Structures are given as structure tokens and as C-alpha cells.
Amino acid sequence: MRVIIFGASGLLGQALMREWNGDQVAGFSVEDVDIRDATKVREIIEKQKPEWIVLGAAYTDVDGCENNRELAFSVNRDGAVNVAQAANQAGAQLLFLSSDYVFDGTKTSPYEIDDARNPQSIYGRSKAEAEVRLLEVLPRCCIVRTAWMFGMGGKCFPDTILKLAASRPALDVVNDQRGCPTYSVDLAQAIIQLCRKGATGIVHVTNAGDCSWFEFAREIVKSAGLATEVRPVSTEQMARPAPRPAYSVLSATSLRGYGIAMPTWQDALRRYLAERRA
């Protein structure tokens, strides 16, 4: 199988490039191609003749998106449409990475794939509008919604917590936002399986279980053997430019439909910490 990965230098892209064996895989970073350039995107796809395209390239700075609305929509929505149109012309299947931020966070039970989109941030809106447009261009594309991704090769929550914990006696972490931490390696392996199974439609992919950011940080510090105190605070106390969903746990029902099960986030964290130490 011939595969193209757009966003190959990101956390997920790096994991995909490491984990994807047995197929012909070509990775393109933002330095190689800006997905806002429809001509360049089309040229690459015509040259590579992929059967599958995984689109992980995105503007993911959630707070940055609030201050750079045009950039957020031009990359996350319009850039994604460029890739979808080129995929359609080339007869390639597309897997697009989306986010739990397409939801408003008002539910108290895990979000299913057919729950209504109601994004509260510019980042969430750019992803939600991309989903709608892609399903119009390529009705049989696969949209993978994930959340709280962490991994080697870039900035992520556990890395930030460990760096702060090394120099501070105590950390204040938000305890009223709940979601599903997701290890880039486990997400990559699930994506590989979805492509090989010819997945279509929306699929939710996160590690099993859920927690608050405070609970996640406490487990990171404890698992790393650090003595730093982790203190719970409210979202209001830690005001950020972009609103976050208070509850964005994603249901695994759609993923189980493809016979794929994810390890727990605690198990994933242990493996990430071992990888980081190595």
C-alpha cells in the first residue's frame, strides 16, 4: 500500500513514520509543503500516487488560533479541503485528524460520533468546519477525532509538567476539565489499522479511561518519582485566551466497531516515560 503523511514532523507524524512498516510510506513536513498551496499539494499527490493520505498537518496552537483566526481557518479548514480535493482527483482515500474541541463540553457522558458539533473556540470551529467540508468533497473519507495527545519529539503536557516539576516545589493544574490523554504511538498504530481496514466516516480514537488535567499531572509526577506537590485549581483561576471544553471524553464505540482496542492512558504514560528516559 502506498501512503502519504502530511504533517510528518509533528508528534503524530513522527510516530506514524516510526511505526508504519510493511507499506510504502512518504512523509512530508510543513517545510516540504504548505497545505494552503493547492497546486503543490496536487503535484505531490499526482507524483506519489498514494492509496491512502493521512492528513495530520494543522495549526494546533489553541490559544494562538484565537488571535490568528484567518491563519487557523486557512490551514485547518481550507488546507484540508485542498488535500481532500486532490485526493478525490487522484482516487486516493483520506484520513483526517480532528479534535475533541469540535464539542462544547456540556455532556457528562462520553461523546459519540454523531453528537452535534458545537465548538467554543476558533481552533474547534476550524476543525469542525473542515469535517463538514471534507465529508462533502469525499463522503467516504475517514475523520479521526482524538484528544490530549502526548508523545516524543515535541511540546506536550507530560513534557511540560516534568520540566516544571524539576524546578518547582509545587504546581497548580486545572481540575475541572476532563478528557482522554492519548499517546502518539498508540494513536499511530490505530490509524495504521484503520487505513488497512479501509475505514470510512468518523472514528473516535483515544487511550482508554479519562481524567482531569490535575489527575493527569499528578500521575505524571508520581510515575516519574518526583516529590513535587500538584495542587488542583479551577479553569477560572488559570484563565486562557481560548475556551476549553469542560468535558470532552470521547466514546470508544466507533473504534471497537473496527475491532481495535486502545491501552489505558496510565499504561501509555508509563511507556512514554520509559521512552523519554531512553
Closest CA to 144 of 212, 54, 58, 81: 54
Give me the catalytic one of 59, 101, 123, 247: 123
73, 126 Cβ separation under 8 angstroms: yes
Cα separation, 56 vs 74, in Å, equals 15
Cα separation, 127 vs 174, in Å, equals 24
Q: What are phi and psi of 54, to 5 degrees?
A: -105, 120
Q: Can you list the alpha helix ranges (DSSP code H) found in 91-245?
A: 122-137, 157-165, 184-196, 213-223
Active site residue 111: no
235, 105 Cβ separation under 8 angstroms: no
The count of other CB atoms within 10 Å of the CB of residue 13 is 25
Cα separation, 177 vs 214, in Å, equals 9
Q: What are phi and psi of 174, to 5 degrees?
A: -60, 135
Mapping DSSP onto H, E and C, the string for 89-132 reads HHCCEEEEEEEHHHCCCCCCCCECCCCCCCCCCHHHHHHHHHHH
DSSP 8-state class, residue 183: E
String of DSSP letters for 53-85: EEE------HHHHHH-HHHHHIIIIIIHHHHHH
Q: Which residues are catalytic?
A: 123
